[in-house]
Structure 1
Amino acid sequence: MSHNENTHPRLPHSSTVPSFQRRTADSARQLRDNFNHVIREIQPLVETARTVNAGVQNAISMRNFLNTPQEQQNATNADNSFVIDLDVNQAVEPPNEPNPDPIRNNNNADDFNNVERAQTVVEAQQFLQVILKYVPFVLILLAKAVYDYHDSIFILIILFTTFAHTNTAVKKETTKRDRRSLGTLSIELLYIFACSIFVHYIFEDEVHNFNVVFHLVLIRTFTDPLTVGKLLWIVVITDFALKLVTVAVKILLTMLPEKIVPFQKRGKVYLFIEAISQMYRSIATIQPWLHYLLESYQGPEKIVAVFLSAFYMISKGTDLMSRMKLLKSSFFKLLQNVTVGSSPSKEQILTAGDHCPICHDEYDSPVLLQCRHIFCENCVTTWFDREQTCPLCRAKIVDDPSWRDGSTSYFIQLY
């Protein structure tokens, strides 16, 4: 009886504990399965949040959700103020939070950088797709423009090719001085003349449709209002025509014998011709632009045309001042006895020495450059045929621009 009294109270306990453990394990397993199912669905969102918040130490880790129940319980205990251990039925203090893992933080930073690079690549691909989408449309417009204006494009190609070829030939023959080829220069001069005649007569209708733009005088008559296309055509063709005239004049100068124009003094003549050409080409665009601006509006809107014309002349003033400065400088150099620099005084020659640094001989027509170095005129002009710097200090000689070699500017005067 005493044995039964001692053992009877244990029967409910022994049968209840396994049942309680089974229910607890089944509930925990079911809860874990449901929780894992939910976590798998929101895993992409959580991973994105981890990437954006890579620097935050309390970032959510997906491994903690997918670990065993015991590991999940430990991860949950880290966030509670206290936990209850069912085995020992007593409260325990939560464990200390571990120090942030530097390797994990570095991995998160790398993931963030990878995401940024991936986004950049995606944006670049989208931009390229947009560009490629409009490529056929741009090609169609380009093909239409080429077909509609093929005569004008052909004229521009002829004029540009002629100018580039003859300009290069003049530069080459100028550097040869007394060894220049008169035959080559004559051929280039005939080439310019033939090109002008070909363009003027073969494309006579095209040229005359745009108000006879080969009339190179500054004052022209426009019977109809100008459109943007006609305006640009006039200024471009006029500019190329004036370039060819400039090259032709330089060819004639190069063909002259040395007795008429010495080779040492031809550099400043080339400079003066180029200065006149640039000034004339800059002035030649004023009348077409003013006519276009003033005749674009009628009636009360005429005040808009006046203001636009005034703004054009103000902006044009800067260009005209630079051309005028070059023309003034080249004119004064043309009046000087020396080709480059200025004539030095006796004291300056004594200070520099009695011998030219280039030929190591006594000075023959000494010239003083802006850098205060003295050379023979013939020596330094020969040097300037290849260089634009002082032979001693390599300083840029700004008063000896490249136009002294017979070249002509490629700049197209559009305004």
Structure 2
Amino acid sequence: MTHNPNSSHSFHRSQSADLTQPQPRVLLTAHSSNTLPSMSVSGSFHRTVESARHLRDSFSSVIRGIEPLVETARTVNAEVSSFLNRPQSESNLSRPPGNDDGSFVINLHVPPTPRETEATEEINIEDVGNFLNNPTNNTDNNNTDDQERMQTVIEAQECLKVLLKYVPFILILLAKAVYDYHEGIFILIILFVTFAHSNSAVKKEAIKRQRRSISTLSLELVYIFVCLVFIHYVFEDDLHNFNIVLNLVLIRTFTHPLSVWNLLWIVLITDFVLKLFTVSIKILITMLPGAVLEFKKRGKVYLFIEAVSQLYRSIAAIQPWLYYLLESYQGPEKIVAVFLSAFYMISKGTDLMSRMKLLKTAFFKVLQNVSIGSSPSKDQIQTAGDHCPICHDEYDSPVLLQCRHIFCESCVTTWFDREQTCPLCRAKIVDDPAWRDGSTSYFMQLF
């Protein structure tokens, strides 16, 4: 039976005519066996999707290949633009050596600016490479730092919670201590207020010199005396038979071993009493007339009195401490007390040496009669003006400093009792003026 081509064509036309709905695309394939072409719908769909994906990948790879070229073109364009905008004196035109035909060589490489060079030198190439190769490691490091900070905050909060739990108990202990030792605390407050007030009054009156107030200084002396008498007779029981006069001359008698609180109490009260006596002596020096003790020398006297006071207060603490250490142990344990006493004296030696050094310096300054400057000539006085820059009055015993500035001798010595530099140019003229203004140290000698 032979194959009729016309009949096959009519069969396909009739079949396509019966289709009333849209049908998927049919792929007609020819076979060598002269059979009817077969339809492959699903295979054609998959090939179309794969073709589109391949086309997309090809387009992306082309774009990635073009990007370096575009960046290079932009860079070259920027370099050419900067080269054309530069003056001809700064351009990179150069004539090849041995070439006289008028040709030039254009160097399009633009040297970096100093700021760009410094920025480039500050960049660590290894760090940049590590960041580009391992970006996740940098993120992990940042996360680790954040976690450590959070952990620190959490630990601090936990510690704060624990401390807050103990706050009520600490307040209870403080309240009990205040109630048990309220009279002793009151004594210390009175002594401190008296010392601070009198010390401030001496400093204010010492700077006035001729205009000092004798009545104010006298009231301060009465205030100190009344305070000491009041404390001695009203709180005699709390002072544990503390005799002010005997303690001042370092004559003490202990009838029983001292506790650590009794030791600190005796040392602290003795230190405050000696401070008040030091301030009283400085008040008497300030009240002296200028004819007895010149005002320009009083700063050295104040320094000497303070040096003696600090050394004496340091020595006054030795006896109670040695008694406390030696009487704390009995029998075979006495060797421990001896060793502790030896260590105390060794550590105390440094403090005593510093006090003695200060006393030596102050003593030699009192003996020296060295002027802080020289006497200026008339021409120098006329050049500087006829009035002192400090008191704005006519010169009284003018002094020419090393910095070539002129002042009244009394004015500038008062200034140098508190400062080291010239009032005008701030040049250093004298040494440390500590304690030359009539002040007394607030340091409490507890050991």
TM-score of the pair, normalised by structure 2: 0.62
TM-score of the pair, normalised by structure 1: 0.66
| AA in 2 matched with 1:397 | V
1:195-244 deviations in whole A, cap 9, x for unaligned?
Answer: 1111111111111x154366312231111111110110011000000000
Aligned to 2:107: none
Instruction: Determine which of 207, 223, 237 is the counterpart of 2:255.
Output: 223
Structure 1 173/211 Cα, relative in aligned 2: closer, same or farther at 3 Å?
A: closer
1:57-86 deviations in whole A, cap 9, x for unaligned?
Answer: xxxxxxxxxxxxxxxxxxxxxxxxxxxxxx
**Bigger CA drift: 377-386 or 252-261?**
377-386
Q: Matches of residues 13-412 of structure 1 in structure 2 within 5 Å?
A: 108-207=140-239, 209=240, 211-212=242-243, 215-338=247-370, 359=388, 364=397, 377-391=409-423, 392-395=425-428, 397-398=430-431, 400-412=432-444
Once residues 388 and 132 of structure 1 are traced to their aligned partners in structure 2, the CA distance between those partners, rounded to angstroms, is 49
Once residues 336 and 103 of structure 1 are traced to their aligned partners in structure 2, the CA distance between those partners, rounded to angstroms, is 75
Once residues 262 and 132 of structure 1 are traced to their aligned partners in structure 2, the CA distance between those partners, rounded to angstroms, is 60
**Bigger CA drift: 329-338 or 251-260?**
329-338
List gaps (5 residues or longer) in structure 2: 1-130
**Offset at 1:375?**
7.2
**Offset at 1:116?**
2.6
Structure 1 385/401 Cα, relative in aligned 2: closer, same or farther at 3 Å?
A: closer
Once residues 180 and 155 of structure 1 are traced to their aligned partners in structure 2, the CA distance between those partners, rounded to angstroms, is 31
3-state SS of the aligned residue for 2:329? coil
1:9-56 deviations in whole A, cap 9, x for unaligned?
Answer: xxxxxxxxxxxxxxxxxxxxxxxxxxxxxxxxxxxxxxxxxxxxxxxx
1:348-384 deviations in whole A, cap 9, x for unaligned?
Answer: x99xx96698949999485888x99997643430322
Aligned to 1:29: none
The 8 Å contact of residues 398 and 406 in structure 2, kept in 1 or not, is answered as no
1:292-341 deviations in whole A, cap 9, x for unaligned?
Answer: 11111111111111111111111111111111111111112212224x65
Structure 1 205/102 Cα, relative in aligned 2: closer, same or farther at 3 Å?
A: same
| AA in 2 matched with 1:324 | M
3-state SS of the aligned residue for 1:204? coil
**Offset at 1:113?**
3.7
Once residues 372 and 225 of structure 1 are traced to their aligned partners in structure 2, the CA distance between those partners, rounded to angstroms, is 64
Aligned residues: 307
The 8 Å contact of residues 419 and 433 in structure 2, kept in 1 or not, is answered as no
| AA in 2 matched with 1:305 | A
The 8 Å contact of residues 174 and 180 in structure 1, kept in 2 or not, is answered as yes
Structure 1 238/245 Cα, relative in aligned 2: closer, same or farther at 3 Å?
A: same
Once residues 372 and 229 of structure 1 are traced to their aligned partners in structure 2, the CA distance between those partners, rounded to angstroms, is 58
The 8 Å contact of residues 213 and 234 in structure 1, kept in 2 or not, is answered as no
List gaps (5 residues or longer) in structure 1: 1-98
**Offset at 1:194?**
1.0
3-state SS of the aligned residue for 1:414? coil
The 8 Å contact of residues 248 and 274 in structure 2, kept in 1 or not, is answered as yes
Structure ID, larger Rg: 2
3-state SS of the aligned residue for 1:389? coil
